[in-house]
Each structure stands twice: as C-alpha cells, then as structure tokens.
Amino acid sequence: MKSILPTLLIIMIIMSCTKQKKTQDQTDVTSEIARNDTFKKWWKEGVLYQIYPQSFNDTDGDGFGDFRGVIEKLDYLERLGITMVWMNPFFESPLVDNGYDVSNYKAIHPRYGTMEDFQEMMDGMQARGIKFVLDVVVNHSSNEHEWFKQACSSRDNKYYNYYHWWPAEKGKPPHRHSLFDPEGGWDYVESNNSYYLHTFAEEQPDLNWENPKVRQEVYDIMKFWAEKGVNGFRMDAFQFVSKDTTFPQFPKGHEKDFAKWYGMGPHLHDYLKEMYKEVIEPYNVFAVAEGAGSTFQDAHDLVDADRNELQTAYHFDYVGLSRTLEGYTLSEFKEVFTKWDREFAEEGWLAIFLSNHDNSRLVNRFGNPSPEFRRVSTQMLNTFLLSMRGTPYTYYGDELGMTNIDMPSIEEYVDVSAIGEYGMAKARGEDMEEFMKMLNYNSRENARTPMQWDDSKNAGFTTGIPWKRVNDNYTSINVAAQEKDPNSVLNHFKRMVKLRKDNEVLVYGAYTLLDEDNEEVYSFTRTLDDQKVLVLLNFTDHESEVTLPLIENTGEILINNYEDLVTKANTVNLKPYQAVIISINH
C-alpha cells in the first residue's frame, strides 16, 4: 500500500496539470481568435432586441402595434443600448399564424403601415446605430399566396411545382406529422386531384426548395429587402426546407424526434451555399436560422465560417428545460449552456437566448415571478444572458420583467398552435384540465401580450381595444415607472448592456464553468488576454454560499443587483437571486 500511494499521487498531479493546461490552452486559443480581425464581427459584438410588432406600440388606435409605433419608441431603443432589432413578420398575410403565413413577400400588411413607414423606421434605427434583422418565412407560404392559388388550378400550371404534391391516383400519401394540424401534414385539393404538404398549419403549404425556380424567388425576395438596407435575416423554420421527395414511410412515433426526421434534409447545405453566394456575401449581411439540427455536427455544418452558409446557430436545447410546472435543475441548465459553449469555443458562433415569441416569459420559466423576487430574479437572468459568449437575444418586455398572463380557458386563445395542440390532446383523450394548466403556463401567447409602457389605460399601448388583453400587472410593471427607479429591472438591463459593450472579455473571452455540482449558484469566468471576470448567479429564493479559491483575488465589482456583497476570504454569500460580476486581479 505504501508503494502505491506515491504513484497515485504523481498520477493525480499529472492529471491536474493536464486539466489546467487544457483550460489554459483553450483560453490562449480564444485570445488568439479574438485578436483576429477576420473573426470579429459586428453581429457577434452586438445585443439583439426582438420586437413582436403587433404588440409593441399602436399609434392609430386599431389595437395592433405598427411601424409608426416603433418610430415613436426609437429613442427608447437607443437608451437601452441595443444594437440590433429583429422584428417578427409584417408582410401581407391572412394572419392565420400571426404573419408566419405570407401571401406577398414584397408587400407590407396595412396593419403595420406602408413601405414608406418601414423605410423611415429602419432609417431611424440606422441613424442610432441599430441594425435591422428581417424575419424571412420561406419554408412555407400562405395558401393565399398567388403561387399557391395558381398551383391549385392545374398540374400543368408553372406554379404547381412550387409546392410539394402527392397525386391522388397514387393513393393516400405516407403520413407526415404537422406541428399545428392534428389531422396530419397532407391536405387534399380537388381542383388538381392532389395532396399538398404542410409542416405547420393547413394554411401554410410547404414550398418546394428542390425546384431551382423557388430558390431564385427566395433570393430575389432577400435581395429586395437587402437593397432597402436590411442588415441580416432570421430564417424561420429553415432546417425543414429540404425534403426527400420520394416521401418514404417514417416509423410509427417518429414525430417524438421531429428535428431528426424532418430537419436537415438531403440538399439543405447545397441550398445554403447557394444562398450565401447569391445574397449573404454580395450584400454583406448575416443570417441566423431557426434551429440547428439535432447534433453538434449539424450545427457546425450550418455556421462554421469556412462552410459559407449561415453565421449563427440558434439551438433549442434549453427550451425543454422548463416546459413543465416541475421546472428544471440548475445542473441541467449549466450543462446545456456549457456543452454548447465548449463545442463552439473555436469554430462557429451561437445565439444566447432564454425567451422569444414561441415561448412563455423568461421570468416565469427560469426565474421567480412573485412580487418579492420578480425584480431580482429577472435581473439575474439578464445578467446571465449578457455575460455569456455568443450574441444575446432579448425579447421585448424582458428588460422590464414582464410576466405570463393568466388564461385558464381555451376560448381566450387565438394562437393556431395552442388551438391545434388542444385538438390533438382532446383526440388522444388527455386530461383536459391538466392540459389547460400546462397551456396556461407555457403557451407562446404569454409572450405576445402588449408592451407595458405606463400605468394609463391599456398600459399606454393603444387608445383602442388591444388585440390581446394587457396583463393586469401593467400598473406596477411598466417603462415609465422603471425609468425613474435606479434599481429597476430596466436600468439594470441598460447597465448590463453597457458593461458588455465596454468589455470585450464578455464577448470573445473564454468561458470556464466553476463549482459545477453546486445546485444553487452558477459560477463561471470569462477570460481574454490579461482580463478575467468572475460571474456569480444565485438561482434560488434564499441566501446561498459559494466558495472558490479565486475569490481571494477579486477586484472591482462591475455589476451587482443588490447594494452590497458579503465576502469572507474565499467565500461569497449571495442573497436571493443575487447576480454579480467581479474583476479578477492577476
């Protein structure tokens, strides 16, 4: 036994040194990358703010937000410090899926204004240093699009091959799951005796990207908007555009792994390379696709710079973490973000987000919406978003800590997804009372309530009847009140945005997870050259301690959502949902 111990000790020292060397090597690589001007991009260094246009600000009293409403709030956006705006679709549309069913890609729905209003809005953003990202919906169109109307008239029509069809004489088509339609992904058209494919609602027929004429139509649409000054494109549902047009049978239950069976089709990368050559490179814009495949390799193949395809990976691994009322564990949360950072430490780039138009509110899912902890827990989550490597995406209202709205009855819902899910659950014989509890918690309609500007009627959103009921808590959660409060969620968000913009270490610095097994505190460092910062985030509603050797070397507190920080030697005592970033002295 005595002879074995020294050997074990030597092995442990070697392993420790190897681990330290690997971490140091990763830091050195990241520092070298960050010094490389070809690696640095404005869309990496920016902070993106997502606007759901019909819910942002209404100026004509029709109850729907509009471009002039955004123009009115341009100074607000500038004060936030954000550098990019992604706006959900505003094209001409019958609005079955709130604009994700486009009937004319080069026209604007009158609800939002005119092309002149759009140009004024975008020019106003550009004058304030804010880039504009367009939401492009080209996996499918609306069934009201002229292409589809023509396609339905005859198989001989030139637009017939703009969509995916299954001739009825071949019998029923192989089953395809629809995300919004409980009856499946094929619908019959009598006039051409064919079934058309729709991955989403039946009013959203899938475009046939295997037809080169369709692809050229899409590139022409993107060029149209790029020539108006659009700086980037968010490609909706893009991982689904390429299909195996032999339409083989899929095994029963395949829809449980939807991305695997329906995403990353056989020619997707060919189409992306073509799009890069036709649009991305010549117009010097960037593109981010919704979804990143089902593996890390899929994601890298989409966004690594030498691929000449997309520029940013927008993955959904985090989405399932808090989809149930049971919530999530901090170790699961850490694992998701750490593994993605590790995989993209040297190649590719990530979007960092916790909420968007398809998920319920950030504070309800990952924080604590109670009056006692809503402010500090939202500040903690925003600190996390803005201190991670990757481009942070903030959804409108999250800079205030807007919360879910209570909608316990299906009659209140207008979202095609919620109504479709309700129909599927009923058909399966589920407990509908339990289903409604879950829908009330995680429905995307929670994220689409009107922006809360002040405590006047309808939260200052509209003088008319709002398209969606305003959350009752608008009298206490609103922009006007928070702008006056130095400790508000809003003012903390502004400080955090400025801190990120002023410290390149928070953009390009290496990320290192610390105290991995701590189920209450998320601790990590960001390191770039000779600058290192420590990020400490208490994810609980009670005080929690974290002990780390490098705490003894802490310097200036760069941000803190409380007035003080209790430290002793190498230990920090964090208050409920306390979030701090501290510089580390070398």
Tokens 């903030």 sit at which residue? 394
Catalytic residue selected from 290, 298, 301, 415:
290
Paired residues of 527 in beta bridges: 510, 532
Cα–Cα dist 285/294, whole Å: 26
Q: Which residues contact 266 (CB under 8 A, 6 or more apart)?
A: 242, 244
Cα–Cα dist 418/413, whole Å: 7
Paired residues of 186 in beta bridges: 197
Chain-centroid distance of CA 388 in Å reads 14
Residue-level length of the chain = 586
Paired residues of 49 in beta bridges: 85, 394
Both tokens of residue 295? 């593996």
Cα–Cα dist 518/80, whole Å: 33
Catalytic residue selected from 97, 202, 206, 236:
236
Task: Write the DSSP assignment of 481-538 as a string of letters.
Answer: HHHH-TTSHHHHHHHHHHHHHH-THHHHSEEEEESTT-SSEEEEEEEETTEEEEEEEE
The pair phi, psi for residue 223, each rounded to 5°, is -65, -40
Contact in structure between 519 and 331 (CB atoms under 8 Å):
yes
SS (H, E, C) 310-359: CCEEECCCCHHHHCCCCCCCHHHHHHHHHHHHHHCCCCCCEEECCCCCCC
Instruction: Please indicate whether residue 236 is annotated as part of the active site.
Output: yes
Instruction: Please indicate whether residue 60 is annotated as part of the active site.
Output: no
Cα–Cα dist 285/90, whole Å: 20
Other C-beta atoms closer than 10 Å to the C-beta of 144 total 16
Tokens 């209450």 sit at which residue? 520
Both tokens of residue 571? 């230990």
Would you name the residues annotated as active-site residues?
236, 290
